Amino acid sequence: MIVRRSKKELDKLAAAGLIVAETLNVIRDSVKIGISTGELDSIAERHIRSRNAVPAFLGYNGFPASICASINNEVVHGIPAGNRVVRDGDILSVDVGAIVDGYYGDAAKTFAVGAIAPEAAKLLEVTEDALMRGIAQCVAGNRLSDIGAAIQRHAESFGFSVVRRYVGHGIGRRMHEDPPIPNYGEPGRGPVLKTGMVLAIEPMVNIGGHDVATLGDEWTVVTADGSLSAHFEHTVTVGKDGPVILTALSRGGEV
């Protein structure tokens, strides 16, 4: 069942989303050559707790950290560590979640570390643009598959591929709720979008093929062919006048 949220609930989701947006900005300002993902995790946790929120990922299904930090060919769910240091030319995907009054916010961005290759820069640009094109489909009356179709069409038009195994999701009182939201597919299929639905849209785009594998830590997902991968995500609600981004610095505004 896809839950439609009340204004009061949306306000709580927006409060959690704001803290996620702030945390990603703090991470952005902290990313530099030589910093460890473990240090970034500590920075993120301190900020989340300073805002009287709870890190949503810490302990989630046993995950040992407050952020996911995935480098280069790591797609998602990378575990931060003190010996995982970012280097000049790396790309770093950071996924952040926070809980406020029992409601969840979830967003991700991929950051350039130092001077990155032109192809890597294009991957970041295209993946973020694909996210925004997917968000633009969050209009009452559209179908759920319109989101993934828009994402896939944009990513593949640049010769990139969209990860199939991992998808976006509904979000609210739990991190993962109905519906699953593939980042690919044909338009015009699935449930009709209605106001008050809250969706975490998160394209994961690879320079190479779409196949992925999970490392021995049972968390870190990597591209099967070793190619670079980028990940961008926002929590969005279907509003009366179109999509509203909840994981923004101002509701529906600057991201």
User: 58, 96 in Cβ contact below 8 A?
Assistant: no
Q: How far apart are CA 24 and CA 40, in angstroms?
A: 10
Q: How far apart are CA 123 and CA 142, in angstroms?
A: 28
pLDDT mean over 14-19: 98
pTM: 0.96
Q: How far apart are CA 183 and CA 186, in angstroms?
A: 10
Residue appearing with tokens 């991929």: 110
Domain spans, the chain: 7-245
Instruction: Share the mean pLDDT of the chain.
Output: 97
Q: What is the pLDDT of residues 215-245, one digit of tens each?
A: 999 999 999 999 999 999 999 999 989 999 9
Q: Residue 239's CB: how many other CB atoms inside 10 A?
A: 18
Could you tell me which of 191, 187, 192, 116 has the C-alpha nearest to residue 152? 187
Q: What is the pLDDT of residues 147-165, one digit of tens each?
A: 999 999 999 999 999 999 9
Distant-in-sequence, close-in-space partners of 243: CB < 8 Å, separation ≥ 6: 135, 136, 137, 138, 139, 236, 237, 252
Pairing of strands 198-201, 168-170: antiparallel
Q: What is the pLDDT of residues 153-207, one digit of tens each?
A: 999 999 999 999 999 999 999 999 999 999 999 999 999 999 999 999 999 999 9
Domain 7-245 homologous superfamily, CATH: Creatinase/methionine aminopeptidase superfamily (3.90.230.10)
pLDDT mean over 96-111: 98
Name the residue type at position 162.
V
